[in-house]
Amino acid sequence: NNDYAIFWDASATERVPRLLKAWEANEDSTVWTHHLREGTKWSDGEPLTADDYLFWYDHILTNELLVSSLPWYMNWGGEPAVLEKVDDYTFTITFAAPFPTWPETLSTSTVAGHFQNGRVGLGMVAPAHYLEQFHADFAGEDAANQLASDAGFDGWHLYFLAQNDAHMNLDLPVLTQWKPVTTIASDEYILERNPYFWAVDTAGNQLPYFDRISLELVEELEVLNLRAIAGNYTMQGRHIDLTKLPVFRTNEVEGNYTVEFWTSRTRHQAKIAFNQDWNEDPEIAELLQNRDFRKALSLAIERSEINETFFLGVGREASFCPQDTPPFFTSDRWDEEFGRFDLEEANALLDGIGLTEWDNEGFRLLPSGERLVLRIDAVSGAFLDYPAVAERVGQMWAEGVGVQLQVNPVERSLWQERMEANQPMMNMFATG
């Protein structure tokens, strides 16, 4: 469900128009001009115009009650960017410094669109004709606060943001292919076709093709997989347990489904990321920033065993680099340098950076004399048994190079909170 201003083509190499039909910059890329498609409508049939972008800028983004601090891309060069209307279908954004990569930024989930980020006051645009009734600048502060109080909110600004959440406010107009008809908090999240969606296919058929999408809330992975095996889902890609592949295959006919293997765009299904900004312990922080330290631990993982144990051997062992297809994959160099299993070189690298002392239990010591102990957050209850993968990696490191790893299984939402607070020393999850 995408309402980005610009997006990427299927190869992720070229930007393509979406809500914007064109964009261009001045000579030094400090002023970007944006051209909307005439005739584009919100899901209630009201036109999308530059006024909706101006409303977002003047009354949401720059209102500190709604957005406490500007996102980096609207504070480029250290000063607030300025959005101005040129005409009904054109607006400019002026940055304090050259911003040649603005279209790339606008094409990412960092900026995204109203459907994804409206609830936090971002997304670049908002339906002014609908939201003005909840805003103090238009309804008056007393009236707006009274509306909020009647709805159980402590302040008009909190109520306004709730009303600008497309996943929870079913009356909110949207620009996406589908519009929610139940809230995301429901057991069944249902979205129906937006009759005013702006796009058509090459034959002139209005998109989207599907009239209705139903997403069922399932609390446990085991339940989801059992329902999928029974044929309860039209399509399911996420959270399918690969270790149940034989059962899925056996039940294809009875469940009236087929199992397909698609090359994952995300490539890494159990990546290990070192937090090079982690600073709770200066000695370990220095190691996390050391390339030879990270390489040594990578070489100490026997990926073939991980593949056989957790991926039934169907995965491709690799280092943490782009998928092995064009355009971003250029050679096997990084897999050859970091993705192989070589305990001799791994130990030599650790010795080379001064980790030469060991305790009587067979673990390496820090220069301070304390045991080197790493900690990793591994997401639990999602996609794969990441804590189990991390535990096996920890065993390999302990046995092969004398490095202790403590695994912290973390529920996904808590993992996200910890990530945003820069708390994990290391983490394991899937990634793009």
Query: What pLDDT is stored for residue 325 in this prediction?
Result: 65
Q: Which residues contact 142 (CB under 8 A, 6 or more apart)?
A: none
Q: Which of the listed residues 163, 182, 197 is the one where a domain comes to its end?
A: 163
Residue pLDDT, tens place only, 149-174: 999 999 999 999 999 999 999 999 99
| Residue 339 vs residue 388, higher pLDDT | 388
Query: What pLDDT is stored for residue 327 in this prediction?
Result: 66
Q: Is residue 289 part of a domain?
A: yes
d(CA 335, CA 117): 36
Q: Is the pLDDT of residue 219 over 90?
A: no
10 Å Cβ neighbour count for 26?
A: 12
Q: Is the pLDDT of residue 242 over 60?
A: yes
Same domain membership, residue 372 and residue 305 = yes
Same domain membership, residue 374 and residue 226 = no
10 Å Cβ neighbour count for 395?
A: 11
Residue pLDDT, tens place only, 282-338: 999 999 999 999 999 999 999 999 999 998 888 887 777 766 666 666 667 777 778
Query: What pLDDT is stored for residue 103 in this prediction?
Result: 96
d(CA 400, CA 116): 45
Our count of domains for the chain comes to: 3
Query: What pLDDT is stored for residue 423 in this prediction?
Result: 92
- Minimum mean pLDDT range among 100-109, 114-123, 167-176, 334-343: 334-343
Query: What are residue 94's DSSP bridge partners?
Result: 31, 82
Residue 147 in tokens: 């509306």
Kindly state the DSSP code that residue 383 receives in the 8-state scheme: S
Contact (Cβ atoms closer than 8 angstroms) between residue 225 and residue 246: no
Contact (Cβ atoms closer than 8 angstroms) between residue 173 and residue 130: yes
Burial of 300 (0-12, 13-18, 19+ CB in 10 A): buried
Q: For the chain, what percent of residues have pLDDT higher than 90? A: 79
d(CA 297, CA 228): 37
CB crowding 119-139: b at 16 or more within 10 Å, else e: bebbbbbbbbbbbeebbbeeb
Same domain membership, residue 331 and residue 310 = yes
24 three-state secondary structure: strand
Same domain membership, residue 371 and residue 388 = yes
Dihedral sign (CA 312, 318, 322, 326): negative
Residue 304 in tokens: 């073939």
Q: Is the pLDDT of residue 264 over 70?
A: no
Residue pLDDT, tens place only, 405-428: 999 999 988 988 998 889 999 999
Range of the domain at 13: 6-163
Q: Is residue 170 part of a domain?
A: no
Same domain membership, residue 425 and residue 290 = yes
Q: Is residue 122 part of a domain?
A: yes
Place of tokens 């006051």: 121
390 three-state secondary structure: helix
Query: What pLDDT is stored for residue 266 in this prediction?
Result: 56
Which is nearest to 338 in space by CA: 323, 353, 319?
319
Q: Is residue 169 part of a domain?
A: no
Same domain membership, residue 115 and residue 27 = yes
Q: Which of the listed residues 208, 232, 262 is the one where a domain comes to its end?
A: 262
Same domain membership, residue 420 and residue 357 = yes
Query: What pLDDT is stored for residue 377 in this prediction?
Result: 96
Place of tokens 């535990």: 391
DSSP assignment of 307-342? HHHHHTT-S----SS--SSTTT---SHHHHHHSS--
Same domain membership, residue 251 and residue 275 = no
Residue pLDDT, tens place only, 368-394: 999 999 999 999 987 788 999 999 999
376 three-state secondary structure: strand
Q: Is the pLDDT of residue 179 over 50?
A: yes
> What CATH number does the domain containing 96 carry?
3.90.76.10
- Minimum mean pLDDT range among 69-83, 128-142, 329-343: 329-343
Same domain membership, residue 255 and residue 324 = no
Helix-then-strand count for the chain, H and E: 17, 13
**Which phi and psi angles does 413 have, rounded to 5°?**
-65, -40
Same domain membership, residue 258 and residue 317 = no
Instruction: Give the predicted TM-score (pTM) of the model.
Output: 0.79
d(CA 138, CA 332): 59
Same domain membership, residue 254 and residue 305 = no
Q: Is residue 196 part of a domain?
A: no
Burial of 178 (0-12, 13-18, 19+ CB in 10 A): buried
Residue 170 in tokens: 């079913």
Contact (Cβ atoms closer than 8 angstroms) between residue 376 and residue 276: no
Q: Is residue 391 part of a domain?
A: yes
DSSP H helical segments within 93-155, as ranges? Answer: 102-106, 114-117, 128-131, 136-139, 141-150
Query: What pLDDT is stored for residue 432 in this prediction?
Result: 47
Radius of gyration of the chain (CA): 26
Query: What pLDDT is stored for residue 365 in this prediction?
Result: 97
Q: Is residue 192 part of a domain?
A: no
Same domain membership, residue 230 and residue 128 = no
Q: Which of the listed residues 163, 186, 207 is the one where a domain comes to its end?
A: 163
Q: Is residue 118 part of a domain?
A: yes
Mean of all residue pLDDT scores within the chain: 93
> What CATH number does the domain containing 300 carry?
3.10.105.10
What one-letter code names the amino acid at 90? T
